[in-house]
Amino acid sequence: MRSFGVTDVGKKRKINQDYLFFSDQPVGCFPNLYIVADGMGGHKAGDKASSYAVTRFVELSRKMGEMHPFVAMEKLIAQVNEEVFKISNQQEEYSGMGTTFVAATVVDDVVYTMNIGDSRLYFYDGESIRQITMDHSLVEELVRAGQLEPEESKNHPQKNIITRAIGVYENMKPDFFKVPIKKNQKILLCSDGLSNMVDDEMLERILSSEESVEKLAENCKEEALFFGGTDNIAVVIAQMDDRGCAQ
């Protein structure tokens, strides 16, 4: 795998509450690891939630023995959620904090993904892009229930209401997805600071380029800024290398 990540405070916010991690090398029980988190809360709480969740997830991963990626992710995120929830309830300055979380690892040519909240993972197969994760948001739940049309969801006034996040409840249930990946295909992990600003058509156009993953990630960030940059932006792009094997 070849990867790169970039984050930006955007044009409207004073604090960057997005946090990311990417490694093409083994991280404990994972042969590679990619994460994006988007914090929420007060002045200090949002950036604390996202940075703590990502850093702690990586730290705990390094101590975990080999097991199925989904089993490992579920165990790790349960502990991280418990810790963030405890901090939120015991320290007034972090009261009410939470964070979205999307993580992926590629094992034997399969992308294993876990998500909580509305940070996303997209898959680009060389021809088209598709969203793999499902947002845990009020609007997306209304769309899935058939109570709202997809087109109506894009500018809905309640678009940013999240129904699941790390640290908000004592128990939290992530979703899991997997998709096969071949050489030169790409995955994109991002916060809503990208997905709310840049539509799928533009993301597909960016990922179709043969430029380096570093340049592609920068291009995503620049497009989000160009279209308003109203939120923090976090982007991680990983591409299967020419060997066609993640390990």
The rounded distance, in Å, linking the Cα atoms of 53 and 58 is 9
Residue 110 burial (C-beta neighbours within 10 Å; 0-12, 13-18, 19+): middle
Distances in whole angstroms, Cα of residue 244 to Cα of each of 2, 58, 190? 11, 25, 24
Mean pLDDT (whole number) for 83-94: 94
Q: What's the chain's average pLDDT?
A: 91
Q: Which two tokens stand for residue 146?
A: 């058939």
Question: Could you tell me how far CA 46 lies from the centroid of its own chain?
Answer: 15
The pLDDT value recorded for residue 67 is 94
The rounded distance, in Å, linking the Cα atoms of 68 and 141 is 29
Single-letter residue type at 137:
S
Distances in whole angstroms, Cα of residue 220 to Cα of each of 111, 202, 207, 231? 21, 9, 9, 14
On the question of pLDDT at 247 being above 50, the answer is: no
- Please check whether residue 186 is in contact with residue 1, taking contact to mean a CB–CB distance below 8 angstroms: no
Residue 37: band (very low, low, confident or very high) from pLDDT cuts 50, 70, 90? very high
Distances in whole angstroms, Cα of residue 106 to Cα of each of 64, 68, 124, 181, 194? 17, 12, 14, 8, 23
Q: Which two tokens stand for residue 17?
A: 């509450």
The rounded distance, in Å, linking the Cα atoms of 153 and 247 is 39
On the question of pLDDT at 41 being above 70, the answer is: yes
Mean pLDDT (whole number) for 158-174: 87
| pLDDT tens column, 19-33 | 999 999 999 999 999
On the question of pLDDT at 183 being above 70, the answer is: yes
Q: Which residue has the tokens 């940013």?
A: 160
What is the 3 state secondary structure string of 28-41?
CCECCEEEEEEEEC
- Please check whether residue 190 is in contact with residue 100, taking contact to mean a CB–CB distance below 8 angstroms: no
18-23/33-40 β-pairing: antiparallel
- Phi first, then psi, for residue 98 (nearest 5°) are -165, 175
- Give pTM, 2 decimals: 0.93
The pLDDT value recorded for residue 159 is 65
On the question of pLDDT at 48 being above 50, the answer is: yes
The pLDDT value recorded for residue 244 is 46
| pLDDT tens column, 185-218 | 999 999 999 999 999 999 999 999 999 999 999 9
The pLDDT value recorded for residue 189 is 98
The rounded distance, in Å, linking the Cα atoms of 52 and 99 is 10
Phi-psi region of 30 (alpha: psi -120 to 50; beta: other; left: phi over 0): beta
